[in-house]
């Protein structure tokens, strides 16, 4: 018994973690890395507090459009808590052997693929809430949300590709192209709509916060173990977790607090999505 444990430890020391790790083994690996583990638990705690706070803040909101902003925004920490539970339990983490050309070629690298999967659910909620605030039409909303989902899925493909290093970066570039569509709607289309809706001040604040934070994700991908491997896995994870804290909980608090205090403005924007193009009156 002792011999086999020693042999396994020797193998791990020599060749890194085995290709097929059980969930329990992956979870244990995460737990042994205090810094990595803390990057997950910090978000579980913050997501829990946020859910309770946001539900409490929304209890007096009655306008359906304002309520929809609340529901979409509360879904963000709800998805987040599930996401981080998946990571902390080893369910949505894998050790992948990096292809040649990668700085850690041949090594088993911890890949937190669950993050991309849950971004596919959480980021559309952020954009739905922002779009409702700006008074978007359905075409712009559909465009930004589909581009955003495509960005997350192609980012997942970049992280999971082990056949070729070049292909990893090719997926990354495709994901960046979708990101540009998201940025275009956020920076060009919606500010004009928000002006007409009378929500420009808060929209512009949230827009700046969102754009700055969202840029951090592809930067951490490129510098982290999935890209150039300049940063360690735990540091990359803290990078994403730190960005999550601002891009999700602080963003959500600012938005929901404003909506709660300006329910009238939201209600007057429209009772349903506008379908016509937003053009200022030419008098």
Residues forming contacts to ligand RET in the complex (CB under 6 A) are: 116, 119, 122-123, 151-152, 155, 158, 172, 175-176, 179, 214, 217-218, 221, 244, 247-248
Question: Six-digit token pair at 182?
Answer: 């998201």
Least distance from C-beta 33 to ligand RET, angstroms? Answer: 21
H helices present in the chain, as ranges: 2-15, 23-32, 34-57, 64-88, 114-134, 138-160, 165-184, 190-197, 200-223, 233-244, 251-261, 263-269
Rounded to a whole number of angstroms, the minimum distance from the CB of residue 54 to ligand RET is 15
- The nearer residue to ligand RET, 132 or 147, going by C-beta atoms, is 147
Per-residue tokens: 157: 């493909």
Residue closer to ligand RET by CB (options 140, 248) is 248
The distance of closest approach from Cβ of residue 44 to ligand RET in the complex, given in angstroms and rounded to an integer, is 14
Using the minimum distance from each CB to ligand RET, give the nearer residue, 136 or 175.
175
Q: Which residue is nearest to ligand RET (CB)?
A: 155
**Structure token digits, residue 247:** 């891009």
Indicate the residue among 198 and 218 with the shorter CB distance to ligand RET: 218
Q: Which residues contact 189 (CB under 8 A, 6 or more apart)?
A: 136, 140
Rounded to a whole number of angstroms, the minimum distance from the CB of residue 151 to ligand RET is 6
Other beta carbons less than 10 A from residue 88's beta carbon: 21
CB of 87 or CB of 278, closer to ligand RET: 87
Closest C-alpha among 106, 92, 105 to residue 40? 92
**Smallest distance, Å, CB 270 to ligand RET?**
26
3-class secondary-structure state, position 120: helix
């Amino acid at each position: 018994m002792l011999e086999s444990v020693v042999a396994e430890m020797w193998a791990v020391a020599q060749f890194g973690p085995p290709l097929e790790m059980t969930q329990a083994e992956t979870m244990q690996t995460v737990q042994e890395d205090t810094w990595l583990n803390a990057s997950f638990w910090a978000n579980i705690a913050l997501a829990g507090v946020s859910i309770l706070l946001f539900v409490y803040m929304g209890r007096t909101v009655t306008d359906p459009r304002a309520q929809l902003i609340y529901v979409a925004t509360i879904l963000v920490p709800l998805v987040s808590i599930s996401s981080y539970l998946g990571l902390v339990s080893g369910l949505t983490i894998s050790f992948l052997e990096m292809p040649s050309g990668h700085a850690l070629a041949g090594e088993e690298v911890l890949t937190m693929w669950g993050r991309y999967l849950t971004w596919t659910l959480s980021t559309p909620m952020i954009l739905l809430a922002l779009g409702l605030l700006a008074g978007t039409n359905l075409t712009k909303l559909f465009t930004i949300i589909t581009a955003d989902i495509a960005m997350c899925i192609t980012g997942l493909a970049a992280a999971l590709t082990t056949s070729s290093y070049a292909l990893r970066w090719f997926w990354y570039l495709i994901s960046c192209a979708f990101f540009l569509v998201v940025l275009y709607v956020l920076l060009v289309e919606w500010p004009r709509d928000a002006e007409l809706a009378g929500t420009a001040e808060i929209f512009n604040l949230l827009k700046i916060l969102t754009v700055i934070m969202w840029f951090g994700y592809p930067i951490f991908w490129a510098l982290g173990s999935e890209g150039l491997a300049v940063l360690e896995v735990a540091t990359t994870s803290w990078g994403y977790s730190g960005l999550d804290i601002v891009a999700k909980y602080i963003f959500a608090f600012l938005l929901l607090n404003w909506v709660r205090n300006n329910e009238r403005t939201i209600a007057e924007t429209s009772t349903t999505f506008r379908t016509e193009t937003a053009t200022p009156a030419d008098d």
